[in-house]
Chain A
């Protein structure tokens, strides 16, 4: 994974794990690698990796079973809110780009419909 070196690494990895959960590559209830394994996987500092799990737990994305490991949260509401957040991001990027090209709301919708019909 390519990192931006001027923004916190832990946040970038959390974003990546989130997108892997959304795409279904990682499923709710799945066991996540140990923090050392995570560090090796992403080529990051082991302390940063440990912080990723504590932040994810705080965000309700994962939970720890003592002595067993870290697991992806099984509650569907965190998954739903993640989906919503990702959807909002995609739509707002689309909206801003279209607006800057001079499309009004009606033509944005019609262009999107035209695009979908060709798919």
Chain B
């Protein structure tokens, strides 16, 4: 599914969080959404997933306007933990199964196994690394055409980060887009094929990352430093 943002704008009172953004997400690609805190990454994701409404502009899904129907094609994993703590992983799976038509229970079980999680585990007893892996498992098991992962690598150990990246690489949909926002720019270097840099609600720069390496001999980190040097990260 191709997702287009045209002139997308979101204002909170006097603050413009997203300022007339134009972006296209093509199927089959993994995007990095980068930028310091407050640059508009989460607001953009919330608009695409339909959790908040724009003040101006539009989002098109394969050329069609956003409706309750195509909102269902978007799977969004916010930064915050969003499960009820009294649940077990099995309960979460049942909850997702009830809620989302695209949830693939078999795939979910496979992902749990690959990431060393078990259905009988309680949400409240999971470590932050386990919780992060669990979030990836439920979100990717939704076989959605637009997958938005907000800071999936934040505050977790190295082994969990590796497991999450391996899962994203192995199960990113061929006909869908994956967008990952992160402060861990280095971690995404090999994972994404496109990088979008945001600053104060606008697109500061966007590039194919292999092209960046080929033409400018620069990594994503190099470009990040170039764009934001002198600014507070």
Contact residues of A with B, CB < 8 Å? 3, 5-10, 36, 39-40, 42-48, 51
Contacts and interface: CB of A to CB of B under 8 A. Distances in A.
Given A5-B220, A6-B213, A44 B169 contact: yes
A3 B111 CA distance: 27
Nearest to B216: A6
11 contacts: A3-B190, A5-B190, A6-B219, A7-B213, A7-B217, A10-B210, A36-B170, A43-B190, A44-B190, A45-B190, A47-B193
Interface of B: 28-30, 165-166, 169-170, 172, 174, 186, 189-193, 210, 213-214, 217-222
In the complex, the 9 A-B pairs of residues with the closest C-beta atoms, listed nearest first? A5-B219, A6-B219, A45-B193, A5-B189, A8-B213, A47-B193, A40-B170, A44-B190, A8-B214
Contacts of B191: 43-45
B213 A9 contact: yes
Nearest to A47: B193
Contacts of B214: 8
A40 B217 contact: no
Contacts of A51: 210
A45 B168 CA distance: 9
Given A5-B220, A6-B218, A43 B166 contact: yes
Given A6-B218, A9-B213, A47 B169 contact: no
A48 B170 contact: no
Contacts of B210: 8-10, 48, 51
B24 to A, nearest CB: 16
B114 to A, nearest CB: 11
A47 B169 CA distance: 10
Contacts of B192: 45
Contacts of A3: 189-190
Nearest to A49: B169
Nearest to A37: B170
Contacts of B222: 6
A47 B213 contact: no
Contacts of B29: 47
A45 B195 CA distance: 13
Nearest to A6: B219
Contacts of A46: 28, 30, 169, 172, 174
Nearest to B185: A5
Contact of A48 (B172, B193, B217): B193
Contacts of B213: 5-9
A2 B197 CA distance: 25
Contacts of B30: 45-47
A8 B29 CA distance: 17
